[in-house]
Amino acid sequence: MALAFDEYGRPFIILREQESKSRLRGLDAQKSNIAAGVAVSRILRTSLGPKGMDKMLQSPDGDITITNDGATILEQMDVDNQIGKLMVELSRSQDYEIGDGTTGVVVMAGALLEQAERLLERGIHPIRVAEGFEISSRIAVDHLEQIAHKFDFSATNIEPLVQTCMTTLSSKIVNRCKRSLAEIAVKGVMAVADLERKDVNLDLIKVEGKVGGKLEDTELIYGIIVDKDMSHPQMPKQIEDAKIAILTCPFEPPKPKTKHKVDIDTVEKFQTLREQEKKYFDDMVQRCKDVGATLVICQWGFDDEANHLLMHRNLPAVRWVGGVELELIAIATGGRIVPRFQELTPEKLGKAGLVREKAFGTTKDRMLYIEHCANSKAVTVFIRGGNKMMIEETKRSIHDALCVARNLIRNNSIVYGGGAAEISCSIAVEAAADKYPGVEQYAIRAFADALDSVPMALAENSGLQPIETVSAVKAQQIKENNPCCGIDCNDAGTNDMREQNVFETLIGKQQQILLATQVVKMILKIDDVISPSEY
Amino acid sequence: MAVERLFKDEATEEKGERARMASFVGAMAIADLVKTTLGPKGMDKILQSTGRGHSVTVTNDGATILKSLHIDNPAAKVLIDISKVQDDEVGDGTTSVVVLAGELLREAEKLVGSKIHPMTVISGYRMAAECARSALLDRVMDNKDDADKFRLDLMRIAMTTLSSKILSQDKEHFAKLAVDAVMRLKGSTNLESIQIIKKAGGSLKDSFLDEGFILDKKIGLGQPKRIENANILVANTAMDTDKVKIYGARVRVDSMSKVAQIEGAEKEKMREKVQKIIGHGINCFVNRQLIYNFPEELFADAGILAIEHADFDGIERLALVTGGEIASTFDNPESVKLGHCKLIEEIMIGEDRLIHFSGVEMGQACTIVLRGASFHVLDEAERSLHDALCVLSQTVNDSRVLLGGGWPEMVMAKAVDELARKTPGKKSHAIEAFSRALLAIPTTIADNAGLDSAELIAQLRAEHHKEESNAGIDVITGSVGDMAELGISEAFKVKQAVLLSATEAAEMILRVDEIITCAPRRREDRM
């Protein structure tokens, strides 16, 4: 009880308003936490693998999201439970760090929690369980390192990368054209990759979507697409060899930041002011023209007069272009963003081979394509699809594929997918368990069992007999000493993942195991939950 | 130990079979809702808005109906979305796409009920959709090279599209209107340059296409009502008080006389501006913004027709037809391109006076004047005409044409059936189901026309068993007829979009096995 007595026997309050708070302690707390974690992971369990199902989420505003991306599902559902939120965080950190495997990590954590509960019931102290898990996660990660393969790719041979991206995409709704999307993702990443430094800046890849058309029309554009049109309807719609002035100053009279007033008290002043205003507009446009720009892209709006002057001087212009897009255009065209007209020089202009406006469908949707840029280090993936939800889901899938390709460029080690890596780790952990004296041994065995749950979920979702299939694969792995055996989800007739070309990145898998173990350890250590009750 | 609460209050979660059931039911309800509007004998719906005025719309356009519905079922929202996209992308077939998606789901429900995994159904559907598409591709006709035939194709497509709408009585008249208007665009899909003016009164038959341009505005007082060989300056500039735009400028004076002086200067400035405009050598000036009395008077003095407050689209179109540029500064009269037309006059339509520009240089834009008994009729006529225009403009770009009257569905169903026979495994059930769903469209057309659909479809199937059959449903006589002879055509692009987006949507809904609904955002009651 959160009540203590002082030396005179008077009670004093340790926990304020404790009757209005609900409190769980000891084993009850751990069990309720575990139950919450398992409940979250159970939601995601059916989304795992190429035959996994999608979830439909309705947001508070009534918008619909259909997805099977773990991170998105968890982020969009209204989780109120504290432990549930921890699981959401877990999936999100996997998303930030790796970008793929967000479902797997939650399923893994759920399995570990289930195993832990059984151990707690036997009376093993939670800390011992946590330590056992920690030891086994290290064994598993080391084992992954051993069974990993380096695989070679180069700028000309991107086939292995495409294969890996296809594994990622095959569990999404877009798997109808996974081949072409995987190629788009890999080519996009290769275009912006810095192979020397082994790094990829994903910010340089813009993913833009537009409803209409079909998924097959999705394309990779070596340039930028801006969802804007020319400021004046009569400006030319196509510019070749464009020299682009990228401005962050408006084509409007200046607004000094200090407060000021211009008093007009005579007719002369009124007239000079008028003259100045006219000259100001003229100067702005003339300056752009003088440096040789053939296209003006501006972050702000134009005055009507400026707009006409631009049109008049045959200088097409685009207004209200967002800051991020402006930066991308600057990177792609090799131009500099110019904050003041005075600083405009010919060197600061960006260059693009072709700028064109393209109309879509029957409405007046137009987009501006900036292509054949001086610096091809910025690309756009342009997604088409039958409806809004499809586009959104495709965006997420492409993002996952891009992340996978990037991870491979950073570290070209792979492990085999389809549950093969998990089964192999499970065998290794199981074998290592006997070497540890003490209670941890049980925890380590439990960890091995938990590792089995990922292939088991895969088999279950694919409509196979889970226990039978997993044990058969396990036996095969031990017998043939071949860590490439996995679950044959697609009914391809073989369970050698090397033949099926199902790969996953080594760092992705390692991260999954480490993150899941960490979260489970954290949950196990909690023995008191104090929460304010309903009000 | 059960978890007490995982989600926030009011958030709900539906799993497995229940979730699937909810989405099937929702999607089918939507499909059934619009089903009766399909085909030439489809019925209309009355929609009453809950907003102020309780305005009423009468329509049989699928997209319009679905857009106005307030739906809570997530799966139904997916269907509404595909209908909207179909409207934006090709303009027609908005009902068919929803009906087809609904039928696909209805068939899928049966399959799932007999314990076939949704993923198997999906892969079957995919194969079937691909096969159906290639079957259509095999049978398309392309008359792009032959201008006369192509025009005939366009006429037929327009008539087919219009026959299911309110305009069906005068479909030939309107089909001609629509084809003429689209041919003037010369391949551009920019439908904005076709202006539709609605004027109540008269009958639908009195609607006409005007080759020139009609602006729904009045001519300023005391200005000429008729100008021949007009030079037109199209402008977007302030003609009220030309404010000084430099920030922070204000007038501060110490005596009344100075106020008068400044006022005089302002007036002088306006006069100068007007003089500059007149200096362009024009006799007609059209401005997007207001023109105040003072400049208007000046224009009237110079014998120039000044039109104020033309809306933005009007200005753009006018600039397009007359070939002028939209000007905002007037210092270089020699380099501003002026628009020209042979004759500007005021005309009367019904009781309204409009300004008519005829003999324009560029023939791209045109105006369609719709006449009709009531606003509801006019609104619906506009929607129907819009559908026809969309389809035609898309067909001009992609000139592949198919026959109509349920013919494409029969062709696809036949090809899909053959595929089902060749495919081993459970998938073949799904492929068969796909062909049944395709047949639902001609069935619905026949049902809506009050015909014996079972009999007709059976006859159609038999006809299609022969190679290269052109059989379809002839709704007028209520029998199977040769579509090529009857001249019923549809655009390939529309059919393809219907097929692909319906399959995509069905696939999406099928993949769902769990629906999580967040607590709705609290809103002030505005009722």
Nearest by CB to B511, which of A53, A212, A280? A53
Distance CA A319, CA A322 (A): 9
Q: Are strands B512-517 and B12-15 parallel, antiparallel or unpaired?
A: antiparallel
Catalytic residue among B57, B59, B61, B160: B61
Q: For residue B527, is pLDDT > 50?
A: no
B387 touches A at CB < 8 Å: no
Helix count and strand count (H, E) for chain A: 16, 20
Distance CA A259, CA B271 (A): 33
Q: For residue A441, is pLDDT > 50?
A: yes
Catalytic residue among B87, B153, B170, B387: B387
Kind plus residue range of the DSSP H or E element containing A58: strand A54-58
Inter-chain residue contact B246 with A262, CB threshold 8 Å: yes
* Distances, alpha carbon B230 to alpha carbons B304, B328, B340, B345, B421, in Å: 10, 20, 6, 10, 70
Nearest by CB to A362, which of B11, B90, B245? B90
Q: What angle do CA A216, A45, A106 make, to 5 degrees?
A: 100
Chain B partners within 8 Å of A232 (Cβ):
326
When pLDDT is averaged across residues B382-398 and rounded to a whole number, the result is: 85
Nearest CA in chain A to B11: A78
* Distances, alpha carbon A248 to alpha carbons A230, A302, A349, in Å: 17, 12, 13
**pLDDT band, very low/low/confident/very high, at B93 (cuts 50, 70, 90):** confident
| DSSP track, B7-44 | BPTT-EEEEHHHHHHHHHHHHHHHHHHHHTT-STTPPP
Inter-chain residue contact A265 with B5, CB threshold 8 Å: no
Minimal C-alpha gap between A224 and chain B (Å): 23
Nearby residues of A17 by Cβ (< 8 Å), 6 or more positions away: none
Nearest by CB to B117, which of A253, A280, A463? A463
* Distances, alpha carbon A433 to alpha carbons A136, B136, B216, in Å: 8, 63, 87
B250 touches A at CB < 8 Å: yes
When pLDDT is averaged across residues A499-504 and rounded to a whole number, the result is: 83
CB atoms within 10 A of CB B402: 22
* Beta-bridge partner residues of A212: A385
**pLDDT band, very low/low/confident/very high, at A429 (cuts 50, 70, 90):** very high
Length of chain A: 535
Inter-chain residue contact A386 with B248, CB threshold 8 Å: no
Inter-chain residue contact B328 with A265, CB threshold 8 Å: no
Q: What angle do CA B414, B417, B421 make, to 5 degrees?
A: 140
* Distances, alpha carbon A7 to alpha carbons B193, B218, B405, in Å: 92, 97, 96
Contact at 8 Å (CB) between A387 and B82?
Answer: yes
Closest to A190 (Cα-Cα) out of A407, A501, A506, A409: A409
**pLDDT band, very low/low/confident/very high, at A108 (cuts 50, 70, 90):** very high
Q: For residue B318, is pLDDT > 70?
A: yes
Beta strand spans in A98-159 (E): 149-150
Catalytic residues of A: 69, 102-103, 400
Question: Percent of chain B, pLDDT > 90?
Answer: 10
Burial of A178 by CB count in 10 Å (0-12 exposed, 13-18 middle, 19+ buried)?
A: buried
Burial of A353 by CB count in 10 Å (0-12 exposed, 13-18 middle, 19+ buried)?
A: middle
**pLDDT band, very low/low/confident/very high, at B1 (cuts 50, 70, 90):** very low
Across the A:B interface, residue pairs with CB atoms under 8 Å apart total 243
Distance CA A257, CA A267 (A): 27
Contact at 8 Å (CB) between A508 and A100?
Answer: yes
Inter-chain residue contact A59 with B518, CB threshold 8 Å: yes
Q: For residue A362, is pLDDT > 70?
A: no
Inter-chain residue contact B252 with A263, CB threshold 8 Å: yes
What percent of chain A is helix, strand and coil (3-state, nearest 5)? 50, 20, 30
**Most trustworthy range by pLDDT among A379-388, B306-315, B318-327, B409-418:** B409-418
When pLDDT is averaged across residues B205-212 and rounded to a whole number, the result is: 80
Q: Of B53-57, B143-147, B206-210, B317-321, which range is least confident?
A: B317-321
B418 touches A at CB < 8 Å: no
Tokens 């076709």 -> residue: B194
Contact at 8 Å (CB) between A309 and B329?
Answer: yes
| DSSP track, A14-50 | SSTTGGGEEEEEHHHHHHHHHHHHHHHHHHHHTT-ST
Q: For residue B250, is pLDDT > 50?
A: yes
Minimal C-alpha gap between B5 and chain A (Å): 7
Distance CA A381, CA A398 (A): 9
Long-range CB contact pairs, A86-94, < 8 A, 24+? A86/A37, A86/A519, A86/A522, A86/A523, A87/A37, A87/A40, A87/A41, A87/A519, A88/A40, A89/A519, A90/A515, A90/A516, A90/A519, A93/A515, A94/A70, A94/A511, A94/A512, A94/A515
Q: Amino acid identity, residue B28?
A: M
**pLDDT band, very low/low/confident/very high, at B245 (cuts 50, 70, 90):** low
Q: Of A33-37, A250-254, B477-481, which range is least confident?
A: A250-254
Q: For residue A481, is pLDDT > 70?
A: yes
Closest to B157 (Cα-Cα) out of B144, B170, B171, B169: B171
When pLDDT is averaged across residues A255-264 and rounded to a whole number, the result is: 70
Inter-chain residue contact B516 with A56, CB threshold 8 Å: yes
CB atoms within 10 A of CB B158: 28
**pLDDT band, very low/low/confident/very high, at B523 (cuts 50, 70, 90):** low
Q: Is the ipTM of this complex over 0.85?
A: no
B64 is catalytic: no
**pLDDT band, very low/low/confident/very high, at B4 (cuts 50, 70, 90):** low
- Mean pLDDT over the full length of chain A: 84
pLDDT of residue B243: 63
Give the residue with greater pLDDT, A515 vs B320. Answer: A515
Beta strand spans in A374-485 (E): 379-385, 413-416
When pLDDT is averaged across residues B365-393 and rounded to a whole number, the result is: 85
Coil/strand/helix, residue B244: coil
Nearby residues of A28 by Cβ (< 8 Å), 6 or more positions away: none
Q: For residue A211, is pLDDT > 60?
A: yes
Q: What angle do CA B408, B82, A379 make, to 5 degrees?
A: 105
Q: For residue B526, is pLDDT > 70?
A: no
pLDDT of residue B362: 64
Nearest CA in chain A to B257: A266
Q: For residue A514, is pLDDT > 90?
A: yes
Q: Amino acid identity, residue B251?
A: V
When pLDDT is averaged across residues B162-172 and rounded to a whole number, the result is: 79
Distance CA B296, CA B171 (A): 45
pLDDT of residue B108: 92
B519 touches A at CB < 8 Å: yes
| DSSP track, B340-393 | EEEEEEEEEETTEEEEEEEEES--S-EEEEEEESSHHHHHHHHHHHHHHHHHHH
Q: For residue A2, is pLDDT > 60?
A: no
Distance CA A179, CA A181 (A): 6
Kind plus residue range of the DSSP H or E element containing A91: helix A82-97
Q: Are strands A262-264 and B249-251 parallel, antiparallel or unpaired?
A: parallel
pLDDT of residue A18: 61
pLDDT of residue B187: 66
B408 touches A at CB < 8 Å: no
A390-428 pLDDT, tens digit each = 888 899 889 988 988 888 888 888 888 888 899 999 999
B146 is catalytic: no
Nearest by CB to B325, which of A79, A212, A311? A311
**pLDDT band, very low/low/confident/very high, at B310 (cuts 50, 70, 90):** low
Closest to B453 (Cα-Cα) out of B464, B440, B437, B463: B440
Q: For residue A257, is pLDDT > 70?
A: no
Q: For residue A208, is pLDDT > 70?
A: yes
Inter-chain residue contact A54 with B119, CB threshold 8 Å: no
Distance CA B265, CA B267 (A): 5
For the record, the structure tokens of A189 come out as 């990443």
**Most trustworthy range by pLDDT among A141-150, A356-365, B161-170:** A141-150
Give the residue with greater pLDDT, B327 vs B92. Answer: B92
B329 is catalytic: no
Which string of b and e fits B160-189 if b means at least 16 CB within 10 Å? bbbbbbbbeebbebbbebbbebbbbbeeeb
Helix count and strand count (H, E) for chain B: 16, 20
- Mean pLDDT over the full length of chain B: 82
Inter-chain residue contact B262 with A274, CB threshold 8 Å: no
Closest to A294 (Cα-Cα) out of A308, A318, A311, A315: A315
Distance CA A391, CA A378 (A): 21
**Most trustworthy range by pLDDT among A38-52, A491-505, B415-429, B510-524:** B415-429
When pLDDT is averaged across residues B400-424 and rounded to a whole number, the result is: 90
Nearest by CB to B23, which of A56, A68, A79? A56
Minimal C-alpha gap between B203 and chain A (Å): 28
